[in-house]
A = this chain, B = another copy of it.
């Protein structure tokens, strides 16, 4: 792949809908070690995408891909709220990413036309949604290593 091709590659996406969340400001969202995301809200799709939700109610969990639309710029090394040491941005869930894309797994409570009532939101109200996918399989807990996060938890006695 030529360097020139790489430099010019750009992909433009439009929201398929927006998040209706109880969080109006970033500081309201639980962060750091032991943060629980139990907030309920709605994934509100634009009406023209409603047929794309056919059969989605048979899944218990969904993956939501969205935009950190209020994040400013990015930093490749940063200290997350769950630790006191800096880590590479791709080893964290920081909003300040080269491509400010967020990912949240939510529990689907019910569907009402183009609106999905869900639990487990950690996005701000009005967040643009790029995609929704069914959550199909998990990495077994016994094979998962969580690196610096597990160490930070251990240091804080959690």
Interface residues, chain A, with chain B CB atoms under 8 Å away: 1, 6, 9-16, 18, 46, 49, 51-63, 65, 67, 69, 76-77, 86-93, 97-99, 101, 103, 105, 126, 128, 130-141, 143-149, 151
Query: Which B residues are CB-close (under 8 A) to A137?
Result: 144, 146
User: Which B-chain residue is minimally distant from A138 (CB atoms)?
Assistant: B138
A151 to B55, CA, bound (A): 12
Give the distance in Å from the alpha carbon of A51 to the alpha carbon of B36 in the complex. 30
B49 x A98 contact (CB < 8 A): yes
Which of chain B's residues have a CB closer than 8 A to the CB of A135?
Answer: 139, 144
Which of chain B's residues have a CB closer than 8 A to the CB of A57?
147
Contact between chains at A1 and B18 (CB < 8 Å): yes
Are A90 and B53 in contact, with the CB atoms below 8 A? yes
Q: Are A59 and B146 in contact (CB under 8 A)?
A: yes
Q: Which of B9, B61, B103 contacts A65 (CB 8 A)?
A: B103
